[in-house]
Structure 1
Amino acid sequence: MTEPERPTGPGPEPVPGSEGSERSARPVLELDQSASASAYDPVDGKADDGGRIGRFWSVRRVPAALLALVVLGGAGLLLYDVAAVRADRPAMRWRRATAEYLAEWRLDEIAVLAAAGAVMLVGVWLVVLAVTPGLRSLLPMRRDRPHVRAGLHREAAALVLRDRAMEVSGVQTVRVRMRRSKASVRARAHFRDLDDVRADLDAALGVGLKELGLARPPALAVYVGRPPARKR
């Protein structure tokens, strides 16, 4: 069999190592240190069709590290004392003193109940940290591409809305408070009718919220008033 002839016409010549260069040219996602790796996993096509987009999950390194240190230290100390007793050596003084001290307390005393309640609250707090996403200041954005997930900080979103509000004629000062489900805007108008200023703010901020590209745009609440009168 003869090898088929290659086309002799003009065309781009293959560059040696082009496959490797294409792979190296692909963008690499840099993980944010405050978010877990699962926050950057690609999703299926359901999210692009308007499916539910979840919040970013925090890794919570500080609580996990503190709890691990406490459990490791307590378990290691107790294991060492138990091994010493098994080796026919006396138990540590702190364990004997603790056992004698606890033997004098009754379960229905206020101090015992208070300590049990405090331990229960700490346990509930750890469970809440484990089952909730965290990162409430990071608002998830729409996922137009399955391999890209973006978020917008509340401060940045509030700054964008504030700039939009200051462009409205008659507005003197603006304060924006951005939450996950509501954006509160308080403006002061030094001229023009308040109803006209409020209508312009509603229109401008409504467009601004859409341009932010948030997955769940918050509700908009606009309050307009006059600046306080100066004292003579």
Structure 2
Amino acid sequence: MTAPAGSPARHRDQDAPRHAPPRRFWSVRRVPAALTALVILAVACLFLYDLAAVRAHRPGMRWRQELARQLDRHTPADTAVLIAGGVLALAGLVLLVLAIAPGLRGILMMRAPEGAGAGVRAGLGRKAAALVLRDRAMEVSGVRSARVKAGRRRVKVRATSHFRELEDVRTDLDGVLAVAVEELGLARPLPARVRVRRGKE
């Protein structure tokens, strides 16, 4: 007895390994890291110089003496102390988010090519993807101009038509853009939201 024609294909699909979605690229963030390092270095050098001056039996810096007086005068319940603490907490939260977030939101992850190793990753800039989709949209009959914005979850297309029915143009745009998005090879499909209006004569 022979198995149905569709059985082997279904069996192969079930046994085929499912690849995990590619990991996003991480931003290097050289500027925030350099600024944070410079601030920490400057504060450390300032305290080290003051400590060395005190050890050499010289008076401490005026700013440290004034800071000590202010700390002795104010309590944690004072408004100024609460504001300063809130600012420092917010700065720490921003640094924490920068440390744990991948960044590079302008890059769309692409599918790994067939046969590529696990460490191979590819990305496409959102502006480049929008330019490609705009060129494909301009090939549709009846489209006079098109504006495309590629987001991380969807593509927004605004087109103007100077002839043909708007519904026909929108239908053609939906089909062309669906194929174009598939050809980009993105790891996450981007549905297109198309709006067509009549251009001014």
- TM-score (norm. length: structure 2): 0.85
- Aligned pairs for 1:1-232 within 5 A: 49-144=18-113, 145-146=116-117, 147-228=119-200
* Per-residue Cα deviation, 1:84-103 (whole angstroms, up to 9, x for no partner): 32343321122112212333
What letter is aligned with 1:184?
K
Q: Distance in 2 between matches of 1:214 and 1:121?
A: 36
Over the matched positions of the two proteins, sequence identity in percent amounts to 56
Report if the CA contact (8 A) 2:22-2:121 is conserved: no
Structure 2: how far apart are the matches of 1:199 and 1:168? 10
Residue 103 of structure 1 aligns to a residue whose secondary structure is helix
- Output the CA distance in 2 between the equivalents of 1:99 and 1:208: 66
Equivalent position amino acid for 2:80 in 1: A
Superposition deviation, residue 223 in structure 1: 0.9
Question: C-alpha deviations, 1:31-89, integer Å up to 9, x for none?
Answer: xxxxxxxxxxxxxxxxx843121111001000000001111111121122223323433
173-182 vs 99-108, which moves further: 99-108
Letter of the 2:68 counterpart? A
Distance between the aligned counterparts of 1:75 and 1:153, measured in 2? 41
Question: Counterparts of 1:68 and 1:220 in 2: how far apart (Å)?
Answer: 43
Q: CA RMSD in A?
A: 1.6
Residues 183-226 of structure 1: per-residue CA shift (max 9 Å, x gap): 01011111111111111000000000011111112221111111
Whole-angstrom distance in 1 between the partners of 2:149 and 2:80: 43
Distance (Å, rounded) in 1 between the aligned partners of 2:18 and 2:56: 67
Instruction: Please give the alpha-carbon distance, in whole angstroms, between the structure 1 residues aligned to 2:164 and 2:19.
Output: 41
The structure with the largest alpha-carbon Rg is 1
Aligned length: 182
5+ long unaligned stretches in structure 2: 1-16
| SS across alignment from 2:66 | helix
- TM-superposed deviation, 1:176: 0.6
SS in 2 for 1:136: coil
